[in-house]
Structure 1
Amino acid sequence: MQKLWLRITFSFLLLMSIALLVSGFFIADKVKDTYMDLKKDQLYEMAQLTVRAINTGTDSEVRLQEQVKELSKTITSRITVIDRDGHVLADSEDNPSAMENHADRPEVRQIIKSGKDSGISIRYSKTLGYNMMYVTIPMIEGDQVKGVVRTSLSLEKVEQAIEHLTATLTFVLFTAMLLTTIVGVRMAKGIAKPIEEMITVSERLKDKDYSARVRMQPKGELGRLANAINVLAASLKSQMEQIQENEQQLMGVLTYMKSGVLLVDKDGRILLANRAMGDMLGLEPETLKGKLHVEVGKSADLSRLIDQCLLEGKEIRDEIQFYFPDERILDAHLAPYVGKRNELKGIVAVLHDITDIRRLEKMRSEFVANVSHELKTPITSVKGFAETLLDGAMDDEELLHDFLNIIHKESVRLHRLINDILHLSKIEQHLVTPIVEEVNVTEVIRNVAETIRKEVKTKGLELELPDNTNVWVEGERDRIQQIILNLVSNAVVYTPEGGKISVSVSERENEVDIRVQDNGIGISKKDLPRIFERFYRVDKARARDSGGTGLGLAIVKHLIESHHGSIKVESEEGEGTIFTVTLPKKQANM
Structure 2
Amino acid sequence: MRDLILVGLIALAGSLAIALPGALILRSLRGRSVTAHVGGVLAVTVLAVAAGIVSTALAMFISSHDLTVLLIVIVVAGAVSLSVGLWLGRRLTRQAMWAAEARERERSLEAGRRDLVAWVSHDLRTPLAGMRAMAEALEDGVVVDGRTVADFHRRIRVECDRMAALVEDLFELSRINAGALRLTIEALSLRDVVSDVVAAVGPVAEAKRVRLHAVDGAWPLVRGSEKELSRVVANLLRNAISSTPADGTITVTGGQDAASAWFAVTDTCGGIDENDLPRLFEVAFRGETARTPGETAGGGLGLAIVAGLVGAHQGEVSVANVGRGCRFTVRIPAATV
RMSD, aligned α-carbons: 3.2
C-alpha change, 1:469 and 1:418, in structure 2 (3 Å) is same
Picking from 167, 188, 196, the partner of 1:439 is 188
User: In structure 2, how many angstroms separate the alpha carbons of the residues matched to 1:484 and 1:353?
Assistant: 32
The answer to whether the aligner puts 1:205 opposite 2:43 as a matched pair is no
The answer to whether the aligner puts 1:393 opposite 2:142 as a matched pair is yes
Aligned to 1:579: 328
C-alpha change, 1:459 and 1:359, in structure 2 (3 Å) is closer
Aligned to 1:357: 106
The answer to whether the aligner puts 1:247 opposite 2:118 as a matched pair is no
Counterpart residue type for residue 378 of structure 1: P
Q: 1:40-94 CA deviation, whole Å, 9 max, x = no partner? A: xxxxxxxxxxxxxxxxxxxxxxxxxxxxxxxxxxxxxxxxxxxxxxxxxxxxxxx
Picking from 455, 468, 475, the partner of 2:204 is 455
Counterpart residue type for residue 203 of structure 1: T
C-alpha change, 1:210 and 1:452, in structure 2 (3 Å) is closer
Counterpart residue type for residue 371 of structure 1: V
Aligned to 2:316: 566
| Cα pair 1:533 1:554 within 8 Å, conserved | yes
* SS, match of residue 520 in structure 1: coil
User: In structure 2, how many angstroms separate the alpha carbons of the residues matched to 1:425 and 1:258?
Assistant: 30
User: In structure 2, how many angstroms separate the alpha carbons of the residues matched to 1:464 and 1:561?
Assistant: 26
- Provide TM-score, normalisation by structure 1: 0.42
Question: In the TM superposition, what is the alpha-carbon distance from 1:529 to its structure 2 partner?
Answer: 3.0
Question: In the TM superposition, what is the alpha-carbon distance from 1:255 to its structure 2 partner?
Answer: 3.8
Aligned to 1:301: none
Aligned to 1:519: 268
| Cα pair 1:461 1:499 within 8 Å, conserved | yes
Question: In the TM superposition, what is the alpha-carbon distance from 1:581 to its structure 2 partner?
Answer: 1.3
Structure 2, gaps ≥5 residues long: 1-60
User: In structure 2, how many angstroms separate the alpha carbons of the residues matched to 1:380 and 1:202?
Assistant: 91
C-alpha change, 1:497 and 1:370, in structure 2 (3 Å) is closer
The answer to whether the aligner puts 1:258 opposite 2:7 as a matched pair is no
Counterpart residue type for residue 560 of structure 1: V
User: In structure 1, how many angstroms separate the alpha carbons of the residues matched to 2:292 and 2:207?
Assistant: 17
User: In structure 2, how many angstroms separate the alpha carbons of the residues matched to 1:570 and 1:450?
Assistant: 25
* Equivalences for residues 485-500 of structure 1 within 5 A: 485-500=234-249
| 4+ aligned runs moved over 6 Å, structure 1 | none
Aligned to 1:469: 218
User: In structure 1, how many angstroms separate the alpha carbons of the residues matched to 2:284 and 2:92?
Assistant: 40
Q: 1:464-483 CA deviation, whole Å, 9 max, x = no partner? A: 42325340121212111211
User: In structure 2, how many angstroms separate the alpha carbons of the residues matched to 1:352 and 1:528?
Assistant: 22
Question: In the TM superposition, what is the alpha-carbon distance from 1:439 to its structure 2 partner?
Answer: 1.6
* Equivalences for residues 268-307 of structure 1 within 5 A: none
| Cα pair 2:188 2:223 within 8 Å, conserved | yes
Question: In the TM superposition, what is the alpha-carbon distance from 1:547 to its structure 2 partner?
Answer: 5.4
Counterpart residue type for residue 177 of structure 2: E
C-alpha change, 1:210 and 1:493, in structure 2 (3 Å) is closer
Where relative contact order (Cα < 8 A, 6+ residues apart) is larger, the structure is 2
Aligned to 2:295: 545
C-alpha change, 1:500 and 1:240, in structure 2 (3 Å) is closer
| Cα pair 1:537 1:543 within 8 Å, conserved | no
* SS, match of residue 454 in structure 1: helix
Counterpart residue type for residue 305 of structure 2: I
* SS, match of residue 271 in structure 2: coil
Counterpart residue type for residue 564 of structure 1: Q
Aligned to 2:56: none
* SS, match of residue 393 in structure 1: coil
Picking from 127, 137, 140, the partner of 1:378 is 127
User: In structure 2, how many angstroms separate the alpha carbons of the residues matched to 1:388 and 1:520?
Assistant: 39
* SS, match of residue 96 in structure 2: coil
C-alpha change, 1:446 and 1:508, in structure 2 (3 Å) is same
Question: In the TM superposition, what is the alpha-carbon distance from 1:380 to its structure 2 partner?
Answer: 1.0
Q: 1:233-282 CA deviation, whole Å, 9 max, x = no partner? A: xxxx6x986x46852662353242234xxxxxxxxxxxxxxxx8xxxxxx
Question: In the TM superposition, what is the alpha-carbon distance from 1:564 to its structure 2 partner?
Answer: 1.8
Aligned to 1:410: 159
Picking from 247, 255, 263, the partner of 1:506 is 255
Question: In the TM superposition, what is the alpha-carbon distance from 1:375 to its structure 2 partner?
Answer: 1.1
Q: State the identity as a percent.
A: 28
* SS, match of residue 463 in structure 1: strand
Structure with the higher fraction of residues in helix conformation: 2
- Provide TM-score, normalisation by structure 2: 0.71
Q: 1:331-383 CA deviation, whole Å, 9 max, x = no partner? A: 9xxxxxxxxxxxxxxxxxxx787433333322222221111111111111111
C-alpha change, 1:507 and 1:374, in structure 2 (3 Å) is same
Question: In the TM superposition, what is the alpha-carbon distance from 1:199 to its structure 2 partner?
Answer: 3.2
User: In structure 1, how many angstroms separate the alpha carbons of the residues matched to 2:233 and 2:101?
Assistant: 40
User: In structure 1, how many angstroms separate the alpha carbons of the residues matched to 2:136 and 2:319?
Assistant: 45
User: In structure 2, how many angstroms separate the alpha carbons of the residues matched to 1:443 and 1:514?
Assistant: 12
User: In structure 1, how many angstroms separate the alpha carbons of the residues matched to 2:230 and 2:292?
Assistant: 24
Task: Give 1 or 2 for the bigger CA radius of gyration.
Answer: 1
User: In structure 2, how many angstroms separate the alpha carbons of the residues matched to 1:399 and 1:436?
Assistant: 49
* SS, match of residue 258 in structure 1: helix
Structure with the higher fraction of residues in strand conformation: 1
Aligned to 2:45: none
User: In structure 2, how many angstroms separate the alpha carbons of the residues matched to 1:524 and 1:492?
Assistant: 18
Counterpart residue type for residue 550 of structure 1: G
| Cα pair 1:532 1:553 within 8 Å, conserved | yes
* SS, match of residue 106 in structure 2: helix
Aligned to 1:60: none
User: In structure 2, how many angstroms separate the alpha carbons of the residues matched to 1:541 and 1:560?
Assistant: 21
C-alpha change, 1:247 and 1:533, in structure 2 (3 Å) is closer
Structure 1, gaps ≥5 residues long: 1-195, 212-236, 260-275, 277-330, 332-350
Q: How many residues were matched structurally?
A: 275
User: In structure 2, how many angstroms separate the alpha carbons of the residues matched to 1:418 and 1:509?
Assistant: 39
